[in-house]
């Protein structure tokens, strides 16, 4: 983080709400992209972002290191997305599923990949999304998720192996299910 952003964070910590808004707006595309890759629908994405901004605004005075503002904000966002996903898993839908499948611009391979990624353990899935979809370095992911860099590397390696195995024979996999 550059010194200009650190100065802005310190001003926001001192109570300047306009500066806080400016900081959040500078990260909103990355936040949206991260939330969308986790919760996958716009309503939940908007909820996660709104809750993240609210919680961050309330807690910014407690941020110890201004240099870690981005990491801190994204950690809040990831936690909010995970809470939404856990709530979603608890919801039982009583209506019939839709008769038609919505058309998507994604190819069958993309859909298989998304499905395979969604089958990964929660932390591993988050690591894969942060690395491949958000372009974060392993060290950044480790800081964000409060893991060691070697743990992130190991989980990423295992995820690649698992994804390769599940995607190597998609037709056979579908027939056997």
Residue 169: which pLDDT band, with cuts at 50, 70 and 90?
low
Question: Could you tell me how many helices (H) and strands (E) the chain has, helices first?
Answer: 9, 0
pLDDT value, residue 99 = 40
Residue 1: which pLDDT band, with cuts at 50, 70 and 90?
low
Rounded Cα gap, residues 154 and 138, in angstroms? 11
Rounded Cα gap, residues 177 and 175, in angstroms? 6
Q: Which long-range contacts (CB under 8 A, 24 or more apart) does 59-64 make?
A: 60/9, 60/12, 60/13, 60/20, 61/13, 61/15, 63/9, 63/13
Q: What DSSP character marks residue 92?
A: -
pLDDT value, residue 105 = 46
Q: Which long-range contacts (CB under 8 A, 24 or more apart) does 123-126 make?
A: 123/147, 123/155, 124/155, 124/156, 124/158, 124/159, 125/159, 126/38, 126/78, 126/82
Cα-only R_g, the chain: 19
Q: Are the C-beta atoms of residues 79 and 56 closer than 8 Å to each other?
A: no
What is the tens place of the pLDDT at every residue in 36-68? 988 888 899 999 999 999 999 999 999 999 999
What is the tens place of the pLDDT at every residue in 133-166? 888 888 888 888 888 889 899 999 998 888 888 8
Q: Is the pTM of this model over 0.85?
A: no
Question: DSSP string of 115-148?
Answer: HHHHTS-HHHHHHHIIIIIS---HHHHHHHHT--
């Amino acid at each position: 983080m550059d010194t200009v952003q650190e100065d802005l964070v310190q001003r926001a910590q001192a109570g300047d709400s306009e500066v806080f808004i400016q900081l959040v707006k500078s990260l909103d595309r990355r936040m949206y992209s991260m939330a969308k890759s986790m919760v996958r629908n716009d309503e939940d994405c908007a909820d996660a972002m709104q809750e993240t901004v609210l919680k961050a605004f309330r807690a910014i005075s407690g941020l110890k290191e201004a240099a870690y503002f981005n990491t801190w904000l994204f950690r809040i966002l990831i936690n909010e997305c995970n809470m939404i996903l856990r709530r979603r898993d608890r919801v039982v839908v009583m209506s019939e599923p839709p008769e038609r499948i919505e058309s998507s611009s994604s190819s069958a391979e993309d859909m298989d990949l998304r499905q395979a990624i969604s089958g990964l353990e929660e932390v591993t899935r988050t690591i894969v999304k942060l690395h491949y979809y958000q372009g974060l370095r392993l060290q950044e992911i480790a800081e964000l998720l409060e893991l060691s860099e070697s743990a992130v590397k190991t989980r990423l390696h295992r995820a690649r192996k698992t994804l390769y195995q599940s995607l190597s024979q998609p037709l056979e996999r579908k027939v056997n299910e």
